[in-house]
């Protein structure tokens, strides 16, 4: 008997229709994917900063 809160209202997942439970599963999958993508963006931004610093260090000093 799991409970979920949607728009401030609590629901028992056991009493939801199959379609509602499937939609809930899809929302959770989307939320998980968004978090994964946000982590990927953070990692990529960190790498970009490092690459930009390396580039800066490799450029001629007299230019």
Residue 47: predicted pLDDT: 98
CA distance 14 to 22: 12
25/18 Cα distance (integer angstroms):
10
Question: What is the pLDDT, as a whole number, of residue 63?
Answer: 72
Q: Is the dihedral of CA 55, 57, 60, 63 positive or negative?
A: positive
pLDDT at residue 58, rounded to an integer:
96
Question: Alpha-carbon distance 50 to 56, whole Å?
Answer: 10
Per domain, the residue ranges of the chain are 3-58
Per-residue pLDDT of the chain (63 residues; tens, 9 = 90+): 799 999 999 999 999 999 999 999 999 999 999 999 999 999 999 999 999 999 999 999 987
Closest CA to 12 of 20, 43, 29, 60: 20
The pTM for the full model equals 0.78
The predicted pLDDT at position 62 comes to: 85
């Amino acid at each position: 008997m799991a409970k979920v809160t949607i728009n401030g209202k609590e629901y028992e997942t056991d009493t939801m229709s199959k379609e509602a439970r499937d939609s809930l599963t899809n929302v959770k999958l989307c939320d998980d994917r968004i978090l994964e993508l946000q982590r990927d963006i953070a990692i990529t931004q960190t790498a970009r900063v490092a690459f930009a610093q390396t580039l800066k260090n490799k450029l001629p000093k007299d230019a």
